[in-house]
Structure 1
Amino acid sequence: MCGIAGLIGVVGVSNGQEPVKRMMDAMKHRGPDGEGIYISKNNDCVLGHTRLAIIDLSPAAAQPMTNEDSSLQLVFNGEIYNFKELRTELESFGHRFRSNSDSEVIIHAYEQWGEKCAERLRGMFAFAVWHENQKRLFLARDRLGVKPLYYYQKDGLFIFASEVRALLASGLIPRKVNPDGVVGFLNFGACPETLTLIDGIRLLEPAHYLIVERGKILLKESYWHFPQQGTKDVSPNEAVAQVRELLQESVKLRLISDVPLGVFLSGGIDSSAIACVAAATGQRLKTISIVFEEKRFDESRYSSAVAKRINSEHIEILLTAGDFRQRWRNSLDSMDLPTADGINTWFVSKAAKDAGLTVVLMGLGGDEVFLGYDSFREVQKQIQIIKMLSLLRPFIRFLARLHPKDKAPVPFLRGNLSARYYLAQRGCIVDRTLKTIINHDFLKETEFNPLEYLSSLIADKPCSSLIDAHQVFELQVYMRNQLLRDADSMGMSHSLEIREPLIDHHLVEYVLSLPIDTRIGNRQKYLLVDAVGSIPRECVERPKMGFTFPFEIWFRKHLLFDVKEMFFSASKEIFSEKGLTHLWRKFEAGKTHWSRVWAVCVLTYYLERYFGRKPVG
């Protein structure tokens, strides 16, 4: 796990090394163990790398890394879990290796297979390969979007980095707010791909590669797609057996490390599954849990049961409202993009680093892959109600003509029903609330439409059921835009690598290919529970509870003054003061969820940090 940066086609820049060095300095937290820089002969390519040493700690694994004749240069962030298998294959083709790192496999894979090299990699990755002779840059990102890769391209200049803040540190990008990014963030509590809050900075889509020459993008292609759902016809018992095999393989691969490794353990099914499978390999683990004074949010009973079952070195960290108040601004400083849901990952990552760990495994993705959210079981029932309402559309339109000021039911019944249901379930600030709190002039500058965005995600996917569509949304919106992004930025702020065995692409491909009845079953995440077979019973039968903090209590009591102050310091160029006051009063009265107020606070903090008090729209 590292930080990468680069600059191609240095037009109007006298010394490309200086902006790349500034980008590297902005990512020291991603790579405290070393750094390196490459400058091409004609100064038309500069690559930078900050290193967090995980596999092969020797200088031989330092980057930028070159091939045998120095015609290729590599910078890479992530882990390639099948690197030993690939190395053996590449050596049979005559490639010579200088290190024992997984990084070196990529550069020889590119030599051997060219643009198809990413298809051979199993892991989490974002990398760039510069071909000096061809003056061409090749960039690629992993299938599920675990590792980020941002870029900016204009007037013959192409810049890329692992983080938005690094791109801004280059000093070559105007700091101008992207209105679509602002609205997209408020809609979902995270910026939808490929948007950011900075005009011109984009996120390379997962499972894509990019080719750049002379500072211009020549080609962007996808090399992998989510499989069509429900294509396999297997029995539940066969499915459980195959999931068991794939899960054990996924966890075993992610235990490869030359530095201390542990597991985030909440006591839920997902983290318990990872801990149990990891412990079954014979490795003695450290497990990390956050506990609270507020009993409704405290899961220590369940995490302790798992830790006892697997005989781990279990570390519990008590987090009080006072502790949170002391450090919450530190966690906000670690946001690379604003997030309404990532602070919990920052605190548990800090606990892991304080415990001496450099790598942790977590259960991220279990609810999305194994249909664990309650919404999956509710979706068909709710959609049937919406379909019945749609039959009333002519009558509702007639009423709308009689009452032109109240047209809310009409747009609700238009368009993709699965997208509308998902937005109702996952949306943060949408529809009327959004229009109330955003200034009309700012809103006119935006083109982002959350329903069009959601509908585009399933436009080329033959979803055979409404649950299929809902699963695609959870995988590509909530998991990718929020959970994975938070895990990367909040973990790396502590120089901590987070690995997610439940979203190994082999496992995801298999589970998604199963019939919907086999995927969902009659028990919560039965495929995962039965595949593991050793999760304590009380952890399986407990009420479902996400890993969340007592924000509802803290924001209304211990942190009320802090939250209110930040909320009302929001930019008046973007927000309507009248609308904010109305939303705050609803929050005080308990008539709106705390996350809506928090989303405004997070966005305000981010804009003030990177743009000052009055960001330019």
Structure 2
Amino acid sequence: MCGLIAVRGHHGDAAMIVARRGLDAIAHRGPDGEGLHACDRDAVTVFGHRRLSILDLSPAAAQPMTCSETGNVVVFNGEIYNFLELREQLEAKGHCFHGNGDTEVLLAGWRVWGRELFARCNGMWALAIWERASGDLIACRDRLGVKPLYIHRTRDGLMLASEIRAIAAMRRSYPEPNPDAIFDFMTLGQSEHASQTFFRDIDAVTPGQVWRIAQDGTTTTWPYHRWPGAGAAQTLEAKDVRELVRDATALRLRSDVPTVSLLSGGLDSSILTATGLACDGGPRVAFAGAFTYGYADEESARFDETASAIDLMRELGAAGRHHVHKARALPEADELDDLVRVQEEPFNTPSILASYRTYRAVREAGYKVVISGEGSDETFGGYPSRYQALAIREALRAGRLPSALRLLARSGVGPSRVANRLAWDLPLPVLAKLLRRRRPSVGLISDALWAASRRRLAALQDDMRSGVRERLRRDVLTTSLPHILRMTDRNSMRFGVEVRSPFLDYRLVERALLTPVQRLMDDTHGKVLLRQAFARDLPERVAWQPKTRGFGHAEQFLVSRMPLREMLDEVPESIGAYLDIARLRRDAAFGDLHTTFWLAVSVALWYRSIYA
């Protein structure tokens, strides 16, 4: 797990100077080492790498890494969890390895398998390969985009980097804001749902694709993975879930440094913690226990789940391997300021303060690898009320009033939630007026941006009119999960911590996407298949408890009490092109703020951190 940059198009010493600026900007991603390498052919290309040593702690795993047989060079951020199996296959073809990590496997795999390499990989990655024979750059991300990779094209070349700040450092400034991204975020809290970022002319490399970029900038792309449609793969049963989750977790425990789990006391983290304890002591596995986040202030005690986590660790016979970190829910101004700076783009909930604090505590305790439950809620239907409301809307659309009433009575979904879903079926002019009047974040969009964004509102309406099955798929592949992954990456890498997510194993995800909704959730429980699969491994109170609040539940309700006044006063007035800053400052002075108000606050704080 590391950070990377690549620069093409500058000449001689200039390219190295530019690359050094970018590499220094992401030093936090790899505190264990660094490297720069100039790949000299018709177009000068410089690769840079910051190393977080996880697999093969020796100098043999340092990057940029060069293939002794081809002269190809790679910089790589992530982990290939099945690298041992791939290594055996390559050794059978005659390849000799010098080290014991996964980066060298990628170089050898590209030489042997070429474009077929990435379909063989099970992991998370963002990488760039300089191909000596052609002079081309190969860029690739994992299937779900767990690891970030951004591209910025210049007049004479391009820049690639793990974080936007590295591109900004290389070009000596951030580009102008992207109004389309701001509009989508303030309307629905969406980001990472397309290749665009919040900055003009900086895009994300598409997950699940390989990009071949020639020396003249011509780019050819192809998918190495396609998410299957209906009937293309087997759906999931409980026994399949159990087998796949256990295997995915075992793969993600491969490490040459100790690993800990993030334990909230809820279902997902309990499954991973119990599985981690069962795998401890296996080849290249050292599971050190669990970390739990809680609250030090009495006011937030009702959101604290540490007692449940403590009970579970005791029942699992691992009480001595449990770390509990408690913090005051309300952040100080400097902590909130750093969180905004770390995220670098707006984020849709202040609850991520909890993960920011937890990763800091994990690193201070001497650990730098965690397994976490990201993706379980999206993949296995962990938000039953959200999806039941959509099912009720579908029944009403079809004229099945008795079915809709039965669902409404059994699911416990409130009429207001159903009404919110039905509102997206209104004619666009009526919907626009309703959003402008009733959703504070939309009301705070500047008149100019609102007038210019009617086509984008129509596209967002199409997305929100999705049925249950399509909504589940989009939440995983384009909307909810990509945003969560970005927030997790920035918070964890701020402190040099690697996060591994077994529930995002592509073998699980592609089959869950095909599994009927009624097998994923019932009237009261989401993640039914997970509960059934691990019922005998966990106490009943954990396996069948309602959804827990999870990390950061207290923080998301404290927006009105956060130290925002002075921070908002420092937002440049130029933000007026996108947001009504005067009204935002007035509204922030009042308590009991609507939940979407944070979206406008987040945009303002982001703008202040970048353009002030």
The verdict on a shared fold, with TM-score over 0.5 as the criterion, is yes
The 3-state SS of whatever aligns with 2:558 is helix
1:438 equivalent to 2:445? Answer yes
Query: Using the alignment, how far apart are the partners of 2:35 and 2:203 within structure 1?
Result: 25
- The code of the aligned residue for 1:493 comes to R
Give the one of 496, 509, 528 matched to 2:530. Answer: 528
Query: Using the alignment, how far apart are the partners of 1:80 and 1:36 within structure 2?
Result: 21
Assess, with a 3 A threshold, how the Cα gap between structure 1 residues 38 and 333 changes in structure 2: closer, same or farther: same
Assess, with a 3 A threshold, how the Cα gap between structure 1 residues 432 and 298 changes in structure 2: closer, same or farther: closer
Counterpart for residue 498 of structure 1: 499
Native 8 Å contact 1:260 1:356 kept in 2 = no
The 3-state SS of whatever aligns with 2:196 is coil
Native 8 Å contact 1:230 1:516 kept in 2 = no
Native 8 Å contact 1:332 1:343 kept in 2 = no
Counterpart for residue 542 of structure 1: 545
Counterpart for residue 311 of structure 1: 317
Aligned ranges 1:4-153 → 2 under 5 Å: 4-10=4-10, 15-42=14-41, 44-153=44-153
Query: Using the alignment, how far apart are the partners of 1:81 and 1:519 within structure 2?
Result: 27
- The code of the aligned residue for 2:240 comes to Q
Query: Using the alignment, how far apart are the partners of 1:217 and 1:5 within structure 2?
Result: 20
Query: Using the alignment, how far apart are the partners of 1:428 and 1:78 within structure 2?
Result: 40
1:413 equivalent to 2:423? Answer no
Native 8 Å contact 2:330 2:555 kept in 1 = no
Counterpart for residue 512 of structure 1: 513
Query: Using the alignment, how far apart are the partners of 2:454 and 2:127 within structure 1?
Result: 31
* C-alpha distance after superposition, 1:360-400 (max 9, x if no partner): 0001111111111021233211333356699xxxxxxxxxx
Aligned ranges 1:160-239 → 2 under 5 Å: 160-171=160-171, 175-192=175-192, 193-229=194-230, 239=237
Assess, with a 3 A threshold, how the Cα gap between structure 1 residues 578 and 556 changes in structure 2: closer, same or farther: closer
Query: Using the alignment, how far apart are the partners of 1:14 and 1:440 within structure 2?
Result: 47
Assess, with a 3 A threshold, how the Cα gap between structure 1 residues 34 and 189 changes in structure 2: closer, same or farther: same
Identical columns (%): 28
Aligned ranges 1:210-359 → 2 under 5 Å: 210-229=211-230, 239-283=237-281, 284-292=287-295, 293=298, 294-312=300-318, 313-321=321-329, 327-341=335-349, 342-359=352-369
Give the one of 366, 381, 390 matched to 2:392. Answer: 381
Question: Which structure 1 segments of 5+ residues have no match?
Answer: 391-407, 459-464, 613-617
* C-alpha distance after superposition, 1:153-208 (max 9, x if no partner): 13231110000011101026662111112212223435232121211000112111
RMSD over aligned Cα atoms = 3.1
1:486 equivalent to 2:487? Answer yes
Assess, with a 3 A threshold, how the Cα gap between structure 1 residues 514 and 552 changes in structure 2: closer, same or farther: closer
* C-alpha distance after superposition, 1:334-363 (max 9, x if no partner): 113221333222111112112211100001
Deviation at 1:451, TM superposition (A): 5.1
Native 8 Å contact 2:435 2:443 kept in 1 = no
The 3-state SS of whatever aligns with 2:18 is helix
Query: Using the alignment, how far apart are the partners of 2:483 and 2:435 within structure 1?
Result: 13
Assess, with a 3 A threshold, how the Cα gap between structure 1 residues 141 and 8 changes in structure 2: closer, same or farther: same
1:572 equivalent to 2:581? Answer no
Counterpart for residue 402 of structure 1: none
The 3-state SS of whatever aligns with 1:24 is helix
Aligned ranges 1:547-558 → 2 under 5 Å: 547=550, 548-551=552-555, 553-557=557-561
- The code of the aligned residue for 2:141 comes to R
- The code of the aligned residue for 2:290 comes to T
Counterpart for residue 404 of structure 1: none
Counterpart for residue 416 of structure 2: none
Question: Which structure 2 segments of 5+ residues have no match?
Answer: 282-286, 402-420
Native 8 Å contact 2:258 2:288 kept in 1 = no
* TM-score, structure 1 normalization: 0.85
Assess, with a 3 A threshold, how the Cα gap between structure 1 residues 359 and 435 changes in structure 2: closer, same or farther: closer
* C-alpha distance after superposition, 1:426-478 (max 9, x if no partner): x99998645531222344555772552585799xxxxxx93211111221244
Number of aligned residue pairs: 569
Native 8 Å contact 1:345 1:486 kept in 2 = no
Using the TM superposition, name which of 285-294 and 183-192 deviates more: 183-192
Native 8 Å contact 1:187 1:430 kept in 2 = no
